[in-house]
Copies of this chain bind each other. A is one copy, B any other.
Amino acid sequence: MKVSIIGATGYAGAELLRILYSHPEVEVVHITSESHTGEVISSLYPHLRGRCGMVLESMEDMERIGRDSDFVFIALPHGHAMRVGKALEKLPTRIIDLGADYRFDDTAVYETWYHVEHTHPDASRVYGLAELYRDKIRGAKIIGNAGCFTTASILALAPLAKERLINENTILVDAKSGVSGAGRSPKQSNHFPELYDSFTAYGVATHRHTPEIEQALMELSGEKTIINFTPHLVPMSRGILATCYASLKPGVTPEQVDEAFQRLYGDEFFIRLLGRGGYPATKAVRGSNLCDIGWHIDERTGRVIVLSAIDNLVKGAAGQAVQNFNIACGFDEKTGLDVIPMYP
């Protein structure tokens, strides 16, 4: 398949290149960057030296890129993918957007949280969280790839929401991410000495991944769900750990919780169930498309605590995009993604 990457110079775009390099069914035909048009991507990313000699193009002539491509991966800041989607509307090219533009069923929710007008509300799109929406992804024109925090959070809570084992209004997600999640542009707040040997929260009660998690949980449980989501910054490059809390409904047994996880994920290649009492660690999934999940039940408080770990740039971005791509193409879902995490 011929694919292009729109916005290839961010961390997610570069990670796409890394993964697609090992994908036997893919040829990358265009990569774009507006600020680095004409440069060789490996002059910006030293790990690509001698491996990827592609030149960054402008996305100005989007139609040409679209005509050359079976699939277009978009790794742009939110608000920009809609224009690409519009431009490719009449072409057979399919789209996988790693940003937020095509993640919401209800574009009003998007507009409220992202403070931009949605200019492509009637787009035919599906939410790209492979384990939950595989069937819809298969034939989709546009796939709105799930976000990083949201992937970790939704995968952790989906079995409980789906089987209605938890009180929807008691859900809390306390999430921790490596710094690559904040992108590659240098900022005072992400300057090395400022973050090293420090830990802090950000975006309390306002982070845009909140409504995305709520949307998925509501769809699964059929119940109105408002959650607290709190992101934190860990002084490391990659990885997300989500610590998810909810009160169990009266009478729910530990075994029911165990079975819910087994039922939904027992056959999933990329989800490793560490079981009740398990402790996922970001290092154990780094560099891979895996999501490790463990859960705990606190009988004193009646709460279930679910822990999930992913690599934010792989299962939380580029890897998931390729997984969705594999599904959409009818390839084996593991193609190009069947690697063991790097340890230590």
Taken residue by residue from 218 to 260, chain A's Cβ proximity to chain B (1 for < 8 Å, 0 otherwise) reads as 0000000011101010111111010101000000000000000
Please report the C-alpha to C-alpha distance between residue A123 and residue B191 in the assembled complex, in whole angstroms. Answer: 37
Tell me, yes or no, whether A194 is within 8 Å of chain B by CB. Answer: yes
A200 touches B236 (CB 8 A): no
Please report the C-alpha to C-alpha distance between residue A275 and residue B199 in the assembled complex, in whole angstroms. Answer: 19
Tell me, yes or no, whether A82 is within 8 Å of chain B by CB. Answer: no
Tell me, yes or no, whether A107 is within 8 Å of chain B by CB. Answer: no
Instruction: Give the residues in chain B near A339, CB-CB below 8 Å.
Output: 21-22, 339
Interface pick from A124-132, A296-304, A322-330: A296-304
Tell me, yes or no, whether A215 is within 8 Å of chain B by CB. Answer: no
A179 touches B201 (CB 8 A): no
A298 touches B176 (CB 8 A): no
A343 touches B14 (CB 8 A): yes
Interface pick from A25-33, A69-77, A143-151, A279-287: A279-287
Please report the C-alpha to C-alpha distance between residue A340 and residue B11 in the assembled complex, in whole angstroms. Answer: 14
Please report the C-alpha to C-alpha distance between residue A341 and residue B47 in the assembled complex, in whole angstroms. Answer: 6
A234 touches B192 (CB 8 A): no
Tell me, yes or no, whether A78 is within 8 Å of chain B by CB. Answer: no
Please report the C-alpha to C-alpha distance between residue A187 and residue B194 in the assembled complex, in whole angstroms. Answer: 13
Q: What is the CB-to-nearest-CB distance from A128 to chain B, in angstroms, rounded to a whole number?
A: 23
Given contacts A18-B342, A198-B282, A296-B205, contact A301 B237 (CB under 8 A): no
Interface pick from A48-56, A86-94, A134-142, A155-163: A48-56
Given contacts A204-B305, A301-B228, A305-B204, contact A199 B281 (CB under 8 A): yes
Given contacts A46-B281, A342-B47, contact A186 B186 (CB under 8 A): yes
B237 touches A201 (CB 8 A): no
A to B CB contacts below 8 Å, 12 in the list: A47-B285, A47-B340, A47-B343, A48-B343, A49-B292, A174-B243, A180-B344, A184-B188, A186-B186, A205-B300, A230-B243, A235-B235
Given contacts A18-B343, A47-B284, A230-B243, 8 further A-B pairs with CB under 8 A are: A11-B344, A21-B340, A22-B338, A49-B284, A178-B193, A184-B193, A205-B305, A228-B303
Interface residues in chain A, defined as those with a beta carbon under 8 Å from any beta carbon in chain B: 11, 14, 17-18, 21-22, 45-52, 169, 172, 174, 176, 178-180, 184-188, 190-202, 204-205, 226-228, 230, 232, 234-239, 241, 243, 245, 272, 274, 279-288, 292, 296-298, 300-301, 303, 305, 307, 309, 338-344
